[in-house]
Structure 1
Amino acid sequence: MTDHRPALSVLDLVPVRSDQTTTDALRASTALARSADRLGYRRYWVAEHHNMAAVAATNPPVLIGMLAAATERIRVGSGGVMLPNHAPLVVAEQFALLEAAFPGRIDLGIGRAPGTDPVTSWALRHGAGGVSDEAVSRFPEYVDNVLAMMDTAGVGIAVQGRTHELRATPAATSVPTTWLLGSSDYSARLAAEKGMPYVFAHHFSGRGTAEALELYRSTFRPSPELAEPRTFLTVNAVVADDDAEARRLALPQLQMMLALRTGQPLGPGRLVEEAEKAQAEMPPAHQQLMDAMAERWVIGGPEEARTRVSELAATYGVDEVMVGPVAAAYVGTEPGTSPARERTLELLAT
């Protein structure tokens, strides 16, 4: 770990507030990506989640193309593509084209989870049984297939005794950087075995990060693409001019995560005033859960938040921190904007 502040990146789920349409949410995320680009953030990743009222990040390749076209310098990628939902060739074709359109700016982050409910998983597979156990069990093979198909030289596929050439795109000159993502030790082991960069989803719970990173680093095998382990940290962040303001802006997302953890119905993201009204009826046990979650996030004024980010980077031995800017909005905010999310990025980068 170096002495200077870590590089900063962004993770965006393209949140949809109660005052927004999907069009509004996309406009807000496009503006946020432009801010990250202008402020010097290293990369901007979008997630894959399906059938959620509060999340518009359903299709990472489409979002990546849109956001890369709207920015100039920043790397844009997936955090991540849930590979069991997709045929490896489709993923390879999508990201090979993105890399051809934006050379040197595309990251392919790959995950193993379905990213949705069982019904939507079934629909993603054309009604053919959803994300099957086979698709999950063959995940390492599918990762290899994506990498091979994106290779600039293509790959030979043996069919009925003959070898056929297969290329994700006709004349590639570069390939995206491919990362494995995970929230357990499974992907840490696999990334180390394959000599790939790896990210542990610290922002999910804040637990198990040190163990996963140590496993990855201690068992890493160098590959032609990567000589040493490469990783970074993810964390949710809400930064405002003072601590009290940051805590108000964090409340809607904390309530959303509480609902997810306790099996409550999930709706669009609340505005601050809506969340404060709901908070008045919060059971004490739920408040304790929210307080515990907040302790693992970066919530506060600028100096406190920047210090916290640097401390997290030092604790986990990384030189990059990817923040999920989860600040909410007030009643009356222009629907196509997310000023508190942009302010979070500005204050952290100052």
Structure 2
Amino acid sequence: MRDYDMTDWSAGYVVDVDYTHGFYQELTPSLLSFFALLQGVQAPDPGASSLAYCELGCGQGFSTNLLASANPHIEFHATDFNPAHIAGARDLARSAGIENAHFYDDSFAEFLTRNDLPAFDFITLHGIYSWISPENRQAIVGFIRKKLKPGGLVYLSYNAMPGWASMMPLRRLLVEHAAAQGSAQSLQARIAASLGFADKLGSLDARYFANHPKLAGRVEKLKGQNPNYVAHEYFNRDLTPFYFMDVAQELAEAKLTWVGPANALDTLDEINLTQEQRSSSPASTTLPCARPRATTSSTSSSGATSSSRVPCGFRPTSSAKNGSRRALPCPAPAPGSRASCAACAIRSGCRVRCTIR
């Protein structure tokens, strides 16, 4: 894969354009604890004193600053290796008089080696896991294992398969077309030209678009989105969509166990499944996970299925025998997929929240 005028320290990550500002409610500590309790899992009390919270890959730091302002009793720590992001996050904290938010421009590997960080009750990552290299993902797993308190919660979202399957060839086309234009133009300009090229292919009824009729709408939607967001979502060198089982296996090294979706409504069969689906679901089937849920193409709130981000909670649990913690995998194809669950070969998978971007 070609790079795009990225400096060595970027490790293939887009740094020539800043990420967008935004608040993501799934990062809220009280919500995370609430969702865990709904699954029958004891969670950190967000009202307790001496709590510590960490966001890895905080971008512009808007979510961290807002949460710190709303939870003055919690100490927030956040890192993003892009200095421009952290400079803006610190300026926002100073302007708002927020004293319990601490920002670092460390890489994940550097953050792992710091000796001035507390143990954390909450560790969160929004989207970043799918945008970075295997080495950086391993650093994240090492950080979680080292710094998460026993009984703490991790929120992790990522681009999920099979929802991303049809999008990956288009993403490769966009990346290669942008690279072929050289570096004389800005990345945003090259992205716009690449989307225009893809749009033209769709209008000519190229076989790939004919076989995936929803892609034309996806391209049209991308053309209207912030180009900085498109750059980070689609143009990072190591962009990787994951099957749930692969993520669960990687996080097993941090002694994490899957808790549930970061959306309470996703656990309700009555609103996610048709009567026929509910009646045909084998109640006696045993899965290696909690709360199996089938999905259909109509359950996503956005109605789109070509790109999905699946927020899942992971929590360490202790064994009564030896104090070790184990991973409990749960397969979770993205909404819209009718393929069988690869891990258990029954139904359509496990229902989790899918955020379409």
One fold, TM greater than 0.5?
no
More helix by share: 1
Structure 2-normalised TM-score?
0.35
More strand by share: 1
